[in-house]
């Protein structure tokens, strides 16, 4: 029985490369000279540090452009509030990975409402979709790519 998995993943190695490029650009730009602005990453949380809110906005745009050039969907980026402390401003950017239960229900409901002849099962942070025919799975993939569900989806582990 043909199957595939619906997942939402971010390549953390590419994120690290994008952060290195962004840090390099911040260190060479004239408007950031002497501000000690930088990007730091811990697990899947990126912290932007600068002196003002305006500079954080510029850093955020820079980060998004570097991520998109590296092939990372910016839909998986969740931006937090600006925290001002003295002469330093911080902002946390979280990379969303995996599919939580509520979002999995939303995807399954979308598949069921489209009346595809497939079976779905939630397995941890991914959804396994199986059907009798390969063509049914391909229509589900096409349908999910067209749908704007608010989270970037990847389709892997396709088996005949």
Q: What's the pLDDT score for residue 92?
A: 95
Same domain, 28 and 48: yes
Higher pLDDT, residue 41 or 35? 41
Shared-domain flag, residues 80 and 39:
yes
Per-residue pLDDT at 32: 87
Give the end of a domain, one of 71, 95, 119: 95
**Same domain for 64 and 106:** no
* 48 has pLDDT over 90: yes
Residue 38: its pLDDT value, please? Answer: 92
The domain spanning residue 62 has which CATH number?
Answer: 3.30.70.990
Cβ neighbour number for residue 70 with a 10 Å cutoff: 16
Q: Minimal CA–CA distance to 52: which of 88, 91, 80, 26?
A: 88
Question: Which residue, of 51, 72, 95, is where some domain finishes?
Answer: 95
pLDDT at 80: 92
**Residue 119 belongs to what domain range?**
3-8+98-159
> What is the distance of C-alpha 160 from the center of its chain?
28
User: Is 67 a residue whose pLDDT tops 90?
Assistant: yes
**1, 43, 48, 42: which is closest to 23 by C-alpha?**
48
| Shared-domain flag, residues 115 and 137 | yes
What domain count does the chain have? 2
C-beta contacts of 23-26 below 8 A and 24+ residues apart: 25/62, 25/66, 26/59, 26/62
Question: Both 121 and 77 in a single domain?
Answer: no
Do 20 and 91 lie in one domain? The reply is yes
pLDDT of residue 86: 85
Residue 70's SS3 state is: coil
Distance CA 47, CA 40 (A): 5
Please give the Cα distance from 102 to 88 (Å, whole number): 37
- Reported residue count of the chain is 160
Considering the domain architecture, whether residues 146 and 106 belong to the same structural domain is answered as: yes
- What is the DSSP-derived secondary structure letter of residue 29? -
Pairwise CA distance, residues 136 & 148, whole Å? 20
- Integer Cα distance of 24 and 9 in angstroms: 26
The pLDDT value given to residue 36 = 87
Q: Could you tell me if 24 and 89 lie in one domain?
A: yes
Q: How far is CA 133 from the centre of its chain?
A: 31
Tokens of 95: 């990379």
pTM here is 0.81
Of 72, 95, 118, which residue sits at a domain end?
Answer: 95
Query: What's the pLDDT tens digit per position in 74-131?
Result: 888 999 999 998 889 999 999 998 888 888 999 999 999 988 889 999 988 899 999 9
């Amino acid at each position: 029985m043909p199957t595939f998995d619906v997942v939402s993943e971010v390549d953390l190695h590419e994120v690290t490369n994008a952060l290195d490029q962004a840090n390099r650009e911040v260190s060479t730009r004239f408007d950031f000279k002497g501000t000690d602005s930088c990007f730091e990453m811990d697990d899947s949380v990126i912290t932007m540090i600068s002196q003002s809110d305006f500079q954080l906005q510029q850093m955020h745009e820079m980060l998004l452009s570097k991520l998109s050039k590296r092939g990372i969907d910016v839909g998986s980026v969740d931006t937090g509030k600006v925290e001002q402390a003295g002469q330093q401003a911080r902002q946390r950017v979280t990379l969303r990975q995996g599919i939580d239960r509520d979002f999995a229900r939303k995807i399954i409901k979308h598949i069921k409402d489209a009346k595809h002849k497939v079976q779905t099962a939630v397995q941890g942070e991914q959804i396994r979709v199986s059907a009798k025919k390969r063509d049914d799975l391909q229509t589900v993939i096409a349908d999910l790519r067209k749908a704007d569900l608010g989270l970037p989806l990847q389709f892997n582990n396709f088996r005949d």
